[in-house]
Amino acid sequence: MPLEKPAVLLAGIAPEIALAATALALLIADAIFGKPGNRWFLSVVSTIGLGLSIYLALTGWLDLEGPRLQLAGMVAVDGFATFVKVTLASFGLLTVWLSREYLSRHNMEEAEFYGLVLFAVAGMMLMAGAADLIMMFLALETFSIALYVLVGFRRRSLESQESAMKYFLLGAFSSAFFLLGIAFAYGAVGTTSLYGTADSPGIFSFVNSSPFDSGGLLVIASGLLIIGLGFKVAAVPFHMWTPDAYQGAPSPVTGFMAAATKLAGFAAVLRLLEVSLFPLRVEWRPLVIGVAVLTMVVGSVLAVVQDDLKRLLAYSSIAHAGFVFTGVIATSDRGVSGALFYLATYGLTVVGAFAIIAALSGREERRVRISDYRGLFDEHPLMAGALTLFLLSLAGVPLTSGFVGKLLVFGAAVEAGYSWLVVVGVLASAIAAFFYLRVMVAMYMQEREEAAEPTRFGPLATGVVALTAAATVFFGLLWSPLIEAAEKATFFAGG
């Protein structure tokens, strides 16, 4: 009797395959056709690959007409994964466009850079759809390794090399926690699948079915998994790598990390805690609450004393991770959709801010201190206005997308009975407003002490700033389309 071939469905990872194939094609094309000073096609091909991944993510979800598990139940194809994948690809597009002029100006334009960005986005997409802890770990390592190299891409900068090494060492440390959490979860349940199949129940089915004796082991596993993912989203006390990595990395990479890495990390946190480990919320919620409070307070307080703008935004990103955690703690559909909205709009805002920093930083990124932005309004009034808009959005000022994002996650927390946590978040936001105002005071009310090298904003950098600024205002005034998309990005327990 002939053996029946197993059905292999690749629609669930079609966007990731497209990005990996594009990255490999870039490397081959550059080896054959690439010449110094004539690598314009790298950004064009990267744009096509990212656009194709968006198309495949949308069509793959619509063609199935409902959530599915594919690849032996290891990949989920649902609204949540689709929303995150499309958002990640959008961040990748903005990064590619911004990097084109930055790399050309610093004589660093190489196919490897674009290939690493594509591989990083592919790994993050895979993490968004991971329905198995092993798949989640593979996705985590895929984009982490790419980011380690991207952080140290300024090879002539000792600061960049030091940042990459610190990031690598602490990233390996976090991976050990995550692997240990997988081991404990397997010991408790006998599987690493989040959902399971009809023949083999997963963690969700196991926890939901009946009382079990290994609950304590699974609680320990939950804590270890939260710690491992806490490193990736830059939550306190797992944030130590963030300021150095943000400061030493090329500015386009810093913006990409702040936006995309946080979204991918929280995608895993949400799928893990809000679905598979939801019945254990009484056990894991105190740990997440403690992390949220520390992250909001420590990130906001330490940002106040920073003079380097990239380090200031690094601590700001830490505080924003704490704000997102308030939506996670709510353990409700409103909390999940609010967290997704927050992460999408925060990513657009922070990419726009780092687009301005990348253009103004000059050779070897010498102009990154707050004092270097004195008199920016007189020199570049439009860019000063755009940076002001981004800072106001990060502070949560009304009529910006940042205000709507905080309103959603804080509202979900209040609805869940955590008003005191929202009070902590509001106080942290008030502290954050102070250091954002420091930058604005320097731009509008202080004069430059010495002549600076002329700065020219290329069309791509200007376009990225314009797009992100328009999105920041649009989603602050007309937020319904994005919120509706986030609300449709619901989880499922399928097989």
Nearest to 276 by CA among 22, 475, 492: 492
Helices (H) and strands (E) in the chain, counts: 20, 2
Q: What is the pLDDT of residue 214?
A: 47
The residue whose two tokens read 């329905």 is: 131
Looking at residue 225, its amino acid is L
pLDDT for residue 494: 37
Percentage above 90 pLDDT, the chain: 51
Two tokens at 210?
């009946």
Kindly tell me if the per-residue pLDDT of 68 is higher than 90.
no
Asked if 123 contacts 143 with a C-beta cutoff of 8 angstroms, the reply is yes
Which of 249, 284, 322, 240 is CA-nearest to residue 95?
249
> Is 125 in a helix, a strand, or coil?
helix
Token pair for 36? 């110094």
Residues 417/326, Cβ–Cβ less than 8 Å: no
- pLDDT for 36-51, tens place per residue? 666 778 889 999 999 9
Structure-token pair, residue 486: 């986030």
User: DSSP letters along 462-491, please?
Assistant: HHHHHHHHHHHHHHHH--HHHHHHHHH---
Average the pLDDT over 196-201 and give the result.
66
Reported as a pLDDT band with limits 50, 70 and 90, residue 206 is confident
pLDDT of res. 283: 86
What number is the average pLDDT over the span 214-223?
Answer: 80
Q: What are the pLDDT digits (tens) for 255-276?
A: 999 999 999 999 999 999 888 8
55, 264, 279, 462 from 97: Cα distances, Å? 19, 21, 44, 10
Per-residue model confidence (pLDDT) at position 448: 73
pLDDT exceeds 90 at position 420: yes
Q: Helices 309-329 and 401-415, interaxial angle, to 10°? A: 30
For residue 80, the Cα-to-chain-centroid distance in whole angstroms is 15
